[in-house]
Structure 1
C-alpha cells in the first residue's frame, strides 16, 4: 500500500531513514527542515500488508529521491512522479534502478557516480586553513557569479534565491576564497541535517586553478562539519576528483544514480 506521509508518521519514517544516514541525507535534511506540509515538498510511504514501512519517496520541487532496503512497489511509487514535467530522480543505485523497468515512466539521461563519506578530519587538518571565508547572505551574488564561470555547471535563474534559502533554513553553508574582492574558489553543503551533510558545487575560477584552492575550501568544511559530530558526504564520477577527495579522508561506500 502506498500513501502520503504526515507528521503522525514521523517517528517510524525517521527511524527507517536513520539506519543509513549518509545515503538518506537529502531525505533527512529536507524532512528536518520543512516537514510534511509544504507545497513544494511531499513524502509517500510504501507499506507491506502488515503495515511495515519498506520504502519512502520524497518530492522536493521537481526532484524525487526514493529509498528502500529491499523489494518495494516501484511501479506504485512511480505513479507519484508521473505528471511532473522534466523531473529529476536520484538516489542509491540499487533503489533507483528499480524504476528503470517501470512502463510509462520517462526517466532522463542516467549518470552514475561514486558515493563517499568522510567521518573524521585527520587528513583535513594537514591542509592550510588561511584565507578561507564562510559565506553570508550578502555573498550570494559573488558566489553565483563564480559558478557561472564553470562550464560544467547548470546555474538556475533563481540560484541566488536558493542560496539564501539554504542558509536561512540551515540546510546548507558555503565556504570560499577571494582575491581582490572576487570569489575564486568555493564549495557548499546541501541537505544538512542533524547527522550528515552533502558537499556540492566545488569549483575554482578557470584563471585560478592549480593552486589547491578547492582542496583548502573542502578541508575547512570537513574540519567544521566533523567537529559538529556530522558525517560529510559527496558523489563524484571524475577519477581525478576522486583521488583528491580521498586524500582529504573520503571513502567510497556505494554508487549513486541521477536521471535528468
Structure 2
C-alpha cells in the first residue's frame, strides 16, 4: 500500500532513511529542511502487510528519488506514479535506478560515484587562503561559477537567504586582485552527513591546489560537527584527488535526465 506522508509519519520515515544516511542525504535534508507542507516537496511511502515502510518516493521540484532495496514489491506502484510526475530527473543509487531504466528510455543516463570522508589524510598547504563567502561577494561568486562552467546556479536572492539562515556553507579563494578563483560549498546537511558540491576553480588557476584546499576546509567543517563529508564525482582523475584526501567510494549514483 502507498500513501502520502505528513508530520505523523516523520519519525518512522526518517528512521527508515537514516539506515543509509549518506545515500539518502538529499531526501533526509529535504524533509528536515522543508517538512511535508512545502509546495516543492512531496513524499510517499510504500508499506508492507505489517504496515512497515520498505520504500520511499521523494519529489523535490523536478527531481524524483525512489528509495528501496534491490527486491521491491512496490515497484509496480511506484512506476506509474513516477511517470505521472513527468520529472526532469530521476536519481538514486545504482541498485534502485537500474530497476527503472528500461521504462525511461527517453532519458539520458549519467553515472557518478558517491564518496565519503570522515577524516583528512592529506595536508592542504593553501587552506589558509580559504574564507567563507561574504554577502557583498555574492555577485562575484556567481560570476566565478559561470566562468568555471557550472550551469545550475542559485540566484543571488537564494544565496543571500541561505547565508542569513546558515543553510549553506560556501567557501572561496580570492587572487591578489580580490577576484574569486576557486569555490565549493556544503549544499545539504543532516545530523549525520553533509554534501560537498559546486567545487571548482577558474581554468587559469587550476592544478595549483586551490580545489584541494576548498575541499579540505569543508571536510574539516564536517569533522568538527561529527558528520561524514560526502561528494559526487564522475572524472576518475578528480576521484583520485579526493581519495588522496581520504574519501572512499561507497555507491554508484545514477541520474536519468529527460531529453525534453
* Fold shared by both chains (TM-score > 0.5): yes
Decide whether aligned partners of structure 1 residues 107 and 198 sit closer, same or farther in structure 2, where only a CA change above 3 A counts. Answer: farther
Residue 243 (structure 2) pairs with residue 246 (structure 1): yes
How much has 1:127 moved relative to structure 2? 4.1
Change in 2 beyond 3 A, CA 1:229/1:54: same
* Aligned counterpart, 1:198: 195
Aligned twin of 2:204: 207
Are the aligned partners of 1:27 and 1:58 in contact in 2 as well (CA < 8 Å)?
Answer: yes
**CA separation of 1:93/1:163 partners in 2, compared to 1, >3 Å: closer, same or farther?**
farther
Shift of 1:125: 4.7
Question: What is the root-mean-square deviation in Å for CA atoms of aligned residues?
Answer: 1.9
Compared with structure 1, are the counterparts of its residues 225 and 50 closer, same or farther at alpha carbon in structure 2 (3 Å cutoff)? same
Compute the displacement of 1:10 (Å).
Answer: 0.8
* SS of structure 2 residue aligned to 1:253: strand
Deviation of the 1:159 alpha carbon: 3.3
8 Å CA contact retained: 1:112, 1:257: yes
Distance 1:168 1:129 in 2: 24
Give the structure 2 partner of residue 177 of structure 1. 173
Match of 1:145 among 143, 146, 152: 143
| 1:60 aligned partner | 60
Structure 1: 5+ residue runs without aligned partners?
none
Query: Residues 45 and 56 of structure 1 are in contact (CA less than 8 Å); yes or no, is this contact kept in structure 2?
Result: yes
The alpha carbon displacement at 1:84 in A equals: 4.1
TM-score normalised to the size of structure 2?
Answer: 0.91
The SS at the match of 2:9 is helix
- Shift of the 228–125 alpha-carbon distance from structure 1 to 2, 3 Å rule, reads farther
Are 2:220 and 1:220 aligned? no
**How many angstroms apart in 1 are the aligned matches of 2:213 and 2:6?**
41
Check the 8 A contact 2:64/2:87 in 1, yes or no.
no
The alignment covers a number of residue pairs equal to 255
Indicate the residue corresponding to 2:118 in structure 1. Answer: 119
8 Å contact kept, 1:125–1:223: no
Work out the CA distance in 2 between the residues paired with 1:164 and 1:115.
28
Paired residue for 1:24?
24
1:219-255 Cα offsets, whole Å, 9 max, x none, are: 0111111111000111111110001001111001121
Superposed CA deviations along residues 12-59 of structure 1, whole A, max 9, x for unmatched, are 111111111010110111111111110111101011122110111111
CA contact (8 A) 2:115 2:247 kept: yes
Structure 1 residue 89: Cα displacement: 1.2
- Report the counterpart of residue 90 of structure 1 in structure 2: 91
The answer to whether the 8 Å contact 2:181/2:202 transfers is yes
Are the counterparts in 1 of residues 70 and 95 from structure 2 also a CA contact under 8 Å? no
Cα distance in 2 for partners of 1:14, 1:118 equals 22
